[in-house]
Amino acid sequence: MANIKVLVAKPGLDGHDRGAKVVARALRDAGFEVIYTGIRLTPEQIAEAALQDDVQVVALSLLSGAHNTLFPKVVELLKEKGLNDVLVIGGGVIPDADIPGLKAAGIAEVFTPGTPTSKIVECINANVK
């Protein structure tokens, strides 16, 4: 009985949580155990929550444009805490041009507006054992 645990979090100051909440519910309905952390979090808070709940996936959502700063910071802090095998994915208003940089920084996949939630489920199932 090893259910997949996913932390859905919004780093930074952006309060637009429609997407994050829809994703959290869709992941629950896909059979995952979802920890939704709410809005306005620091990368440190997110990484620590990931550690305490020992999640396999951290899903970040951000629409304010601060993703290039905040997403890599979360990855960095997860590594610092010894969480080396956590799948980090991100979504939001993210221009295509930023995606290679985010991937290089350890964000496994980036989902832009219009992505069906089923794609996120597929991505998690394909990447978490």
Partner 1 sequence: MEIVDKLLNHSRLALSKAITAVENEYDDAVKIMTEIYPHTGNAYVIGITGPPGAGKSTLTDKLAKEYRKRGKTVGIVAIDPTSPYSGGAILGDRIRMMDLMADEGIFVRSMATRGSLGGLSQKAGDAVKLMDAYGMDVIIIETVGVGQSEVDIVKTADTTMVVVIPGMGDDIQAIKAGILEIGDLFTINKADREGTDKLNIEIEMMLELNPEHVGWRPPINRTIASKGEGIEAVVDSIEAHKAYLIDSGKLNDIRKKRIKNEVEAMLNDRVNRYIDKEVIQTQEFDDLVVKMQSREIEPYSVVDDIVGKVLK
Partner 2 sequence: MAFEEIKAGLAKYTADVEAKLVKNPERANLVPNRLYTPIDLGENFDYMTKLGFPGEYPYTRGVQPTMYRGRFWTMRMYAGFSTAEESNKRYRYLLANGGSGLSCAFDLPTQIGYDSTDPMAEGEVGKVGVAIDSLADMEILFDQISLDKVSTSMTINAPASVLLAMYIAVAEKQGVSADKLRGTIQNDILKEYAARGTYIFPPKPSMRLITNIFEYCSKNVPLWNTISISGYHIREAGSTASQEIAFTIADGIAYVEAAIKAGLDVDAFAGRLSFFWNAHNNVLEEVAKFRASRRVWSKVMKERFGAKKAKSMMLRVHTQTAGSMLTAQQPNNNIVRVALQTAAAVMGGTQSLHTNSKDEALALPTTESVTIALRTQQIVAYESGLADTVDPLGGSYYVEALTDKIEKEAWEYIEKIDEIGGAPEAIAKGYIQKEIQDSAYKWQMEIEKGDRIIVGVNKFTQEEEPPKNLLRVDGSVGKLQAEKIAALKARRDNAAVEAALKALEAGCADESVNLMPLILDAVRAYATEGEICGVMRKVFGEYQPHTTL
Residue 101, interface with partner 2 (CB under 8 A)?
A: no
* Interacting span for partner 2 (CB under 8 A) from 9-17, 45-53, 80-88, 101-109: 9-17
29 by DSSP, 3-state: which? helix
From partner 2, partner 1, none, which one binds at residue 113 (CB under 5 to 8 Å depending on kind)?
A: partner 2
**Residue 106 binds which entry of partner 2, partner 1, none, with Cβ cut-offs from 5 to 8 Å by kind?**
none
Beta pairing, strands 33-36 & 109-111: unpaired
Distance CA 120, CA 111 (A): 8
104 lies in the binding site for partner 2 (CB under 8 A): no
How many Å apart are CA 72 and CA 100, to the nearest integer? 12
Residues between 44 and 83 that touch partner 2 (CB under 8 A): 64-66, 68-70
43 neighbors 69 (Cβ within 8 angstroms): no
H or E element at residue 45:
helix 43-53
Task: Give, in order, the Cα–Cα distances in Å from 121 to each of 8, 27, 45, 81.
Answer: 13, 7, 24, 26
Site of interaction with partner 1 (CB under 8 A): 1-3, 5, 24-25, 27-38, 41, 44-45, 48-49, 51-54, 81-83
Q: Which range binds partner 2 by CB under 8 A, 30-38, 50-58, 76-84, 101-109?
A: 30-38
Q: What residue ranges bind partner 2 (CB under 8 A)?
A: 12-18, 21-22, 24-26, 28, 34, 36, 38-40, 42, 64-66, 68-70, 93, 95-97, 112-114, 116-118
